[in-house]
Structure 1
Amino acid sequence: MTVVRRRPAPLPTLLLVLGALYCVVPTLWILVAATKSRTELFSTSTYLPSFGGGLLSNLADLSAYDGGIFWHWMLNSFGYAAIGGVAASLVSAAAGYALAMYRFRGRTLLFNVILAGVLLPQIVLAIPQYLVLSKVGLAGGYLAVLLPQLFNPYGIYLCRIYAAASVPQTLLEAGRLDGAGEFRLFATVGLRLMTPGLVTVFLLQFIAIWNNFLLPFVMTSDDGKFPLTVGLYSLLRHGAAEASLYSLVITGTLLAVLPVIVLFLALQRYWRLDLVSGAVRG
């Protein structure tokens, strides 16, 4: 039997290559620029790395800047993203599980409202959220950055779809016959079966909080509570008057990208498990 291999279409292939370059080139520039010293940054070729120890010097200067506040920003970002990601994933799991497993009046309307929330840009909500939190005295603190992140319409949508596909009603009915309550069923059956989907929700929410700039910028003015995004922006503003800070901003940006890459690679096996289990169910 002769296998006929189709040649790849040139236009889609070209578009994929251009899209890959669009994503890779800025990251490559940051990686190369971080290896350059302050003088080399503006005097050498753009994509020509330096091997004169500029990266180590930039790391040392970044760690020493303002008493090591960069690492405090890094810790804040980890706190916001990790706590917010876990809490938002649990809220999304509970809401999605309830929408998928139970029938109640107004369920379709509620789900449609949540879908409308997916289409609403989060930038529109920043000012109203600040006004609400300032009324209750929470504006300016850590909770002001965390609380608006707990409700994730897209995460609820994903959990609802995944719960409907992965949690069989027969298994829940068997648990009810054994005397298990609804909360226990959700905690011991629902969450376990939804784990691969929740990993995806957590990763998406972690990255969204890690990269969020406007919400923490609006909510807090204390540089000790800044995440990396706002902290690097403030450092860049100071760099407008002191060009030597540009190297620190670039090095800090490189360090800010690394945790997301590590997290993506670490959780990739759960996505593979999810794909395999989905294929088996199909």
Structure 2
Amino acid sequence: MSQAAGRQSIFITGAASGMGRETARLFHEKGWFVGAFDVNPAGLAALQAELGAVNCIIQTLDVSDKSQFDAAVATFGAATGGRMDILFNNAGIIMRGFFDEMSFEDQLKIINVNLIGVLNGTHAALPLLKDTPNALCFNTSSSSATMGMPLIAVYSASKHAVKGLTEALSNEFRRFDIRCADALPGLIRTGMTSDEFLAKAPDQGPFRLIEAVEVAKVVWASYHSEQLHWYIPEDLAGLDKAAGDNPELLRDKLGRHMEV
């Protein structure tokens, strides 16, 4: 018998902290088997100690490296008997600054993790997803995928790409009984959010500070739904409508808040 012992299973990248860690905790509470993958081995070890080694597997993973992703999926499949109910492409990085002042190498790092990492994960996991009834490919996009945002131009572009990929694959993967959906979080309390941004967070509105566990709850809800885009908080959906209705007005509003 496999380590998962017949339990439903979720594969999570960026699992050592923030939204990934909270998702691992929540699905563990729901009785699922968890595969936790990250570049942070200490964070993974702490998570495994919390969940219990019988309930999860951990492995360091640079999502931008396809060979590493293939190996991680193979390890996961061996532990679950070839099952993957959810692939959660969550790992991501962000760097702030004006486009012309950011190094090309740093811009490529953002693309390689945030977009290529999702492509690597989806390609690697697809055989397991195909073999699992009602599987879900769930990706972390961003509120910055509703409108290109200044000071995070390449990050925003990477998340637009993830959103578009999710939309396209949500149709293509119906051939395999695989659903696709994404999260578009706003300001979430994670290690990626600077203390300066936390201090400036408004008390109300779409960019109020949200706890990482709220993203985990959305991943759980998505598995039981056909909904495509999940905005966190829900009122962020208004940005998509505003961008479609009057992109110039939204562009100018965003431009008035350019601070590094």
> Which TM-score band (shorter chain)?
under 0.3
More helix by share: 1
Return the TM-score normalized by structure 2: 0.24
- The answer to which structure, 1 or 2, has the higher relative contact order (CA under 8 A, 6+ apart) is 1
Q: Quick check: which one's strand share is greater?
A: 2
Q: TM-score, normalization: structure 1?
A: 0.23
Larger radius of gyration: 1
